[in-house]
Amino acid sequence: MGRRAITFLLLLTAGLCCPTICAGSCPGNVEGTFRDAGTAEVLVGAADTASYMPLLRGRRVAVLANHTAMFSAEEHLVDMLCREEIDLVGIFSPEHGFRGSVEAGASVGNSVDERTGVPILSLYDGRTQRPSDAVMRSFDVLVVDMQDVGLRFYTYYISMIRMMDACADFGRSVVVLDRPNPNGSYVDGPILDMRYRSGVGWLPIPIVHGMTMGELARMAVGEGWSKRVDLSVVPCRNYTRSTRYVLPLAPSPNLPTQHSIYLYPSMCLFEGTVVSLGRGTDAPFEIYGHPEMKGRDFSFTPQPNAGSSAPPHKGRLCYGVDLREVPDEEILSEGLTLRYVIDAYRDLDMGERFFTPMFEKLVGVDWVRRMIVDGASADEIEARWRSDAERFERQRAPYLLYED
């Protein structure tokens, strides 16, 4: 471990640094090639070393990354930077931790990477939203690399934006290594009403924004949603918004399959209700149910597991719906839908007790709940937010890096 990394560790263990949530993304060239569902090779940003290594050599470097920041199929970005003798002084980790194994919402402590000896500072330890001044002064450039899934309530981009703000305050540079968005083929959902800004929704964007992390970073700076920072984005190669990119690694514990990632935009809204969406089973975000749902042939019993230590309705038999056989094409063509939430709401007949305050934070507006309670159909509600999505598509156009 180098002297600067030791200094970073001393600052960390002395309690001089604090948290945030998460961010990152990456595009690329050379190594780091992963095949999409078709035949083209998508090259992630981390692989395009010629574009970003000159920005790192001779400078103190920190990374905001997790287990998905793979330089190649066999080597992590952190390992590659150490192999290349980059002065890597610290790692910032988001929700789920640097290794991506911690359940959603759980605090993650500081540690040291066993393989490289580089200190790891958690941005999700429950105390604060950005590192201390001392830690911010310990590096010159921040490299961001994490696999996002293109949803406003998926927290990685929020840590990226917060760290961009911190870097702007201290004159630090930010390099985003972009990665494809598996839900990048469409834009859907209402734009966040900033009254509901939270740790699961930070920018005035739709639920499904259709952008990569690098594009979001560019837009945040351009629209004034973040402070002006010295930002470089290394884009993906051989990637378009219509590319069917199959993730080589699960981005978080409860999104274990590509199918769950496609269902996630619609299914995550159950987090703001009394209904289980399958946490504590082998099919999170692919099934839903409740002990009191009626007339359902499918059932499951949530139990504690690696992805959820205390899942909703733990140990209770839940009746509901299994979506595992719904074709990917059908999910993607339909986009974000309220059909599942409305189905459960009407079945349980609980009125407002069906919802929790988290629902507005996830959906981003107050009128969706009101329309459901008033008996509106999914099509009627979705028609109301269509103009939001169309307006956002026009707004984001100057910041896009990839063709449709």
The CA-based dihedral angle spanning residues 389, 27, 284, 357, taken in that order and rounded to the nearest 10 degrees: -40
pLDDT in tens, 17-39: 322 223 333 322 233 333 444 45
Residue 220 shares a structural domain with residue 320 = no
Quick one: 178 and 278 in the same domain? no
pLDDT at residue number 105? 46
Could you identify the residue written with the tokens 């069917």?
A: 244
Task: Report helix, strand or coil for 188.
Answer: strand
- Which pLDDT score, from 0 to 100, does residue 287 have? 98
Tokens coding 374: 């008033």
Residue where the block lists tokens 């890597």: 88
Q: Please identify, among 218, 249, 280, the residue that sits at the C-terminal boundary of a domain.
A: 249
pLDDT-derived band at 125 (thresholds 50, 70, 90) equals low
Nearest Cα neighbor of 98 from 84, 85, 87, 109 is 109
pLDDT score of 35? 40
Q: Per mean pLDDT, which range of 11-20, 118-127, 242-251, 266-275 is the poorest?
A: 11-20
> Are residues 355 and 223 part of one domain?
no
The three-class DSSP label of residue 267 is helix
**Is 48 in the same domain as 160?**
yes
Q: What is the pTM of this model?
A: 0.87
Q: List, in sequence order, every beta strand (DSSP E) within 278-383.
A: 287-290, 298-300, 318-322
Taking the C-alpha atoms of residue 118 and residue 111, their distance in angstroms, rounded to an integer, is 9
Q: Please count the CA atoms within 13 angstroms of the CA of 102 that sit on its side-chain side.
A: 17
Which residues span the domain enclosing 65?
Answer: 3-249
- What pLDDT is recorded for position 27? 29
The yes-or-no verdict on residue 10 having pLDDT over 60 is no
Tell me which residue has tokens 């287990």: 67
Side chain identity, residue 222: G
120-128 mean pLDDT:
66
pLDDT for residue 15: 34
Report, as an integer, the average pLDDT of 187-207.
Answer: 97
Question: CB-based burial of residue 284 (10 Å sphere; 0-12 exposed, 13-18 middle, 19+ buried)?
Answer: buried
Tokens of 339: 């059909």
Tell me: the pLDDT tens digits for 302-319?
999 988 999 999 999 999
Among residues 225, 249, 273, the one where a domain terminates is 249
DSSP labels, 275-293:
SB-STTSS-TTTEEEETT-
- Cross-strand bridge partners of residue 176: 144, 233
Is the dihedral angle over the CA atoms 66, 72, 73, 78 positive or is it negative? Answer: negative
Residues 72 and 184 in one domain: yes
Of 24, 38, 75, 25, the C-alpha closest to 238 is: 38
- 339: Cβ–Cβ under 8 A, 6 or more apart, which residues? 266, 378
CA nearest neighbour of 176 among 202, 142, 227, 199: 142
Q: What's the pLDDT at 25?
A: 32
Residues 6+ apart with CB under 8 A from 231: 164, 173, 174, 175, 176, 217, 218, 221
Q: What is the mean pLDDT of residues 240-268?
A: 95
For residues 48 and 197, membership in a common domain is answered with yes
Q: 322 and 223: one domain?
A: no
What is the percent of the chain where pLDDT is above 70? 85
Contact between residue 396 and residue 211 where contact means Cβ atoms under 8 Å apart: yes
For the segment 348-368, the average pLDDT, to the nearest whole number, is 98
**Per-residue pLDDT for 347 more than 50?**
yes
One domain, residues 129 and 231: yes
pLDDT of 13: 38
For residues 84 and 8, the model is more confident at: 84
Q: Which residue has the higher pLDDT, 110 or 225?
A: 225
Q: Is 404 exposed, middle or buried (0-12, 13-18, 19+ CB in 10 A)?
A: exposed
Burial of 222 (0-12, 13-18, 19+ CB in 10 A): middle
Task: Indicate the average pLDDT of the chain.
Answer: 88
Residue at 329 is within a domain: yes
